[in-house]
Every structure is written in C-alpha cells, then in structure tokens.
C-alpha cells in the first residue's frame, strides 16, 4: 500500500504501540534461543487489511519457516514509515517491515539489501533502487485512477469517460449543472494524505509525462516547484475547487468518511488509489462504478503508478538470513497474494501469478486500465509516493498534503503553493 498519513507526535506514537502476536515480551528488538528466533514484524491495519487478514498471512508464512516466532507490531496509523522512525529513535527498530518507505533508512545502512537471486521471481526486480541496491521486495503495483458513478454520468448526459482534460472539465460542468457534486475529495485530520490524489494526477499529466525524472532534476537543482510546469499542475487542482467541482465542505472528512461519501452518492467522481477497487467489489455501492485514467490535455496516457510495497529487513536483525527467508515466504505465498488482491486491490508483479478468477468488475477494470497504460508506455511516477533514487526527502509528502489542503480551500494560489514546496524542500534537505 502506498497511503501515507500525517505523522503523529513522538509521544503519542510511543504510547500508542499495539503489540500482538504469538509471544509475550517487549515491543521491540528480537531474541534467539537455541535454534529458535523471535522476530518483530511491523505492519498496519486498515478497514481493508484488518487484524484477521494479517494474522492469517503471518501464520501461513510462519508455517513455511520453522523456528521463527513473530511478534506483530501494529502502527497506530497507516503511516508505518513514520512509526518505524520513532521506534528506531528509541532503539526498537523492527526486524521486518512491510510497506516501509526505505528512504533515509537505506542511506543509513539500517536495511539489508536483496540480492538478484533473491529477486529472481519479481517482474520488476530493480524497481526503487537506492544507489543500485534494492531494499524492498517489489511485489505489487498501485496506481491512481478516477472511480465514477455511472448513474450520475447518465443523468448528466455523459455517455463515456473523458479522453482529454478539456472533456473532463466539460463533464464536471455538466454534472454541476444537474446539481450533482462532481468530485469527492477529503483529507481531514490525520488523513491529510487523502487530499493528494488530484495533484498526483495533474503532476503525472503535466510534469512527469514530459519529464519523467523531474524529481531527480529537482534534487540536482535543475528545476523548481515554482517553474511553469509544476505551477500549471497545481493550478488545475486549484481551478477545480474554485469552479465548485470539488466540494470544499468535504475536505475535512477522514479517509474512511470520504470513501463513504462517494458510496452514499455525494459526488460523481472519486480520484483515489487502486485499492478502492477491492472495496467497491467487496461491498458494492447502490450504483455501478466505472473507472478511467485522469486525462492529459492531448489524450496520451500518463497514469501515476508505484511498484514496491513489499518487505524490508533490518540489517541489525538477530538473524538476517532467517528474517529474509520469512519475509519472502510471506510475500510469495500464493494464498497471501490472493488475500492481498482481494483485500487491497493490489496489482501483483510476481512472475507467474494470476489473480483469482472471481475478482469483481471494478478490480478487473482497474487492472485493465493499468495494463493498457503499461503497453502504451504511459506509466509515470506517482508524485509524493516515489521511493528509490529520485524520491522526495523524508517528511516532504506530509508537507505537500498540508499545502494541498490550502490550495483546494482557496487559501493558497498555485504560485504560492510552488513557492511553499520549494521552501519545504530546502528545509528538508539542509
């Protein structure tokens, strides 16, 4: 999963540790006794990926690696990377982690690198490299799409999803004219990350489509957020809100409440990560849900995507070799992969894997949109979600989400947002 909520305070995080699992004992570290080893595993829980899901997956992996006992550490929010930093600062860095952003940890040599032989079964083995090394198993892809209420489109006289950005604006106008809120966007409280999806899409279409390595160029000082390309992307987002196509009153909603608002018919379109497809199929709304890629000005594909999300292993784990063996057993177990697809709509990038035949129509449409963009060389980076070389400095995505809240609410112009991002970049890289 690529969701990254705002960091909580260090004290709140330290006090909110949830520890479950197979053994008693302290929250951090690992201990070995004879031929047995206890390893800590940091994960997170969401409505899609609940405790039952994780416990079953852990049990399947542990059955394949005798002698390992797993202590499950649950992040108090979906931001397991921020939580891992807090644990690290107190000497409790977990042995195994899933969905961690390796940035900072990799450079500090806190993670064990995966060898080419260990990555042989992965379709994109060198996704997200840090100085040529891979620290996270690249087992799945996720993307950002627009999910839409087909009934609302019909009511507004819209016969097909938009193919160009001009058509997207025209469709928004038609919906608004019929008294239908065009777009559902949230991001209140700790879920400020959820307001990023319109910007993720416009940066993909207006910046990364033309300059795939734009963020690397920003690192090198060759481009800035105040440059025309980025300001244009931000301006599109601000314009959508200014025209009333994004309901500003809904910006205070949590992630869960934002999803529910779309389900309740409080908006026709829902820009969101591909994990929503699993939710839409598992608990079908009262309307048929369609899927389309946020369009570029000219209609060429520019779909934001990220590949990774798998296991990382601490270089200081009490038994790195055994920790890696368990991590791969978890990540490559077919039942675990099926469960991840069903629960979180993942697009698995492990050779030879095929999703269950009974996957629902929204998931199938999501995968089809992703594969179609792949064939057309239309997959670009996903702004604020990048990992590997050329990713954002740690903590900057949280600052971006806070700025987008102001951008959407009208308290910040696109030019001001660009200046704000440059300022935050400088602070993060000093």
What is the per-residue pLDDT across 356-373, written as a single tens digit (0 to 9) for each?
Answer: 999 999 999 999 999 999
Is 297 within the bounds of a domain?
yes
Residue 329 in contact with residue 70, Cβ under 8 Å?
Answer: no
**What does the alpha-carbon distance between residue 420 and residue 425 come to, in Å, rounded to a whole number?**
9
**What does the alpha-carbon distance between residue 305 and residue 144 come to, in Å, rounded to a whole number?**
7
Is 4 within the bounds of a domain?
no
Residues 224 and 345 in one domain: no
Is the sign of the CA dihedral 168, 171, 177, 183 positive or negative?
negative
Residues 81 and 104 in one domain: yes
Residues 166 and 250 in one domain: yes
Q: Which two tokens stand for residue 336?
A: 């675990």
Residue 1 pLDDT greater than 60, yes or no: no
Residues 345 and 223 in one domain: no
The mean pLDDT of the chain is: 91
Give the pLDDT score at 5: 35
Among 321, 340, 358, identify where a domain stops: 358
Residue 267 pLDDT greater than 50, yes or no: yes
Give the pLDDT score at 6: 28
Count the residues in the chain. 430
**What does the alpha-carbon distance between residue 257 and residue 115 come to, in Å, rounded to a whole number?**
42
Residue 379, strand partner residues: 303
Residue 16 pLDDT greater than 60, yes or no: no
Residues 300 and 325 in one domain: no
Give the pLDDT score at 62: 96
Is 199 within the bounds of a domain?
yes
Residue 401 in contact with residue 195, Cβ under 8 Å?
Answer: yes
User: Given pLDDT bands bounded at 50, 70 and 90, which one contains residue 405?
Assistant: very high
Residues 66 and 176 in one domain: no
Q: Print the domain residue range for 27.
A: 10-140+308-358
The model's pTM is 0.86
User: Given pLDDT bands bounded at 50, 70 and 90, which one contains residue 61?
Assistant: very high
Question: Which of the given ranges, 41-55, 96-110, 140-154, has the highest pLDDT on average?
Answer: 140-154
User: Given pLDDT bands bounded at 50, 70 and 90, which one contains residue 76?
Assistant: very high
Is 1 within the bounds of a domain?
no
* Residue 16 vs residues 3, 77, 87, 293, 405: alpha-carbon distances, Å: 20, 9, 11, 38, 27
């Amino acid at each position: 999963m690529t969701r990254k909520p705002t960091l909580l305070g260090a004290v709140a995080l330290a006090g909110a540790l949830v520890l479950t699992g197979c053994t008693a004992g302290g929250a951090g570290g690992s201990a070995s006794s004879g031929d047995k080893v206890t390893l800590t595993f940091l994960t997170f829980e969401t409505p899609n990926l609940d405790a039952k899901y994780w416990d079953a997956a852990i049990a399947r992996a542990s059955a394949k690696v005798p002698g390992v006992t797993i202590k499950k550490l649950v992040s108090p929010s979906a931001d397991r990377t921020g939580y891992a930093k807090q644990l690290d600062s107190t000497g409790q860095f977990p042995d195994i982690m899933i969905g961690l952003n390796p940035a900072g940890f990799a450079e500090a040599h806190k993670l064990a690198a995966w060898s080419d032989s260990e990555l042989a079964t992965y379709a994109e083995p060198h996704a997200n490299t840090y100085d040529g090394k891979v620290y996270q198993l690249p087992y799945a892809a996720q993307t950002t799409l627009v999910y839409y209420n087909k009934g609302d489109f019909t009511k507004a006289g819209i016969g097909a999803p938009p193919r160009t950005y001009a058509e997207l604006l025209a469709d928004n106008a038609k919906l608004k004219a019929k008294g239908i809120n065009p777009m559902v966007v949230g991001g209140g409280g700790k879920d400020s990350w959820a307001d990023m999806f319109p910007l993720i899409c416009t940066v993909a279409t207006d910046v990364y489509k033309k300059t795939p390595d734009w963020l690397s160029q920003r690192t090198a000082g060759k481009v800035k957020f105040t440059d025309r390309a980025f300001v244009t992307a931000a301006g599109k987002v601000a314009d959508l809100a200014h025209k009333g196509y994004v309901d500003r009153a809904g910006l205070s909603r949590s992630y869960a409440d934002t999803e529910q608002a779309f389900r309740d018919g409080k908006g026709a379109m829902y820009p969101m990560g591909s994990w929503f497809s699993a939710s839409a199929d598992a608990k079908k709304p009262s309307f048929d849900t369609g899927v389309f890629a946020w369009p570029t000005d000219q209609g060429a594909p520019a779909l934001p995507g990220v590949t990774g999300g798998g296991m990382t292993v601490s270089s200081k784990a009490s038994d790195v070799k055994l920790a890696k063996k368990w991590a791969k057993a978890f990540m490559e177990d077919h039942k675990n992969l099926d469960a991840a697809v069903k629960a979180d709509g993942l697009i698995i990038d492990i050779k030879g894997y095929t999703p269950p035949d009974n996957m629902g129509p929204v998931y199938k449409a999501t995968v089809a949109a992703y594969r179609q963009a792949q064939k057309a060389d239309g997959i670009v980076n996903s702004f604020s979600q990048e990992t590997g070389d050329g990713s954002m400095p740690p903590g900057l995505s949280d600052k971006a989400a806070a700025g987008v809240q102001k951008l959407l609410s009208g308290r910040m112009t696109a030019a001001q947002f660009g200046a704000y991002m440059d300022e935050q970049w400088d602070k993060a890289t000093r």
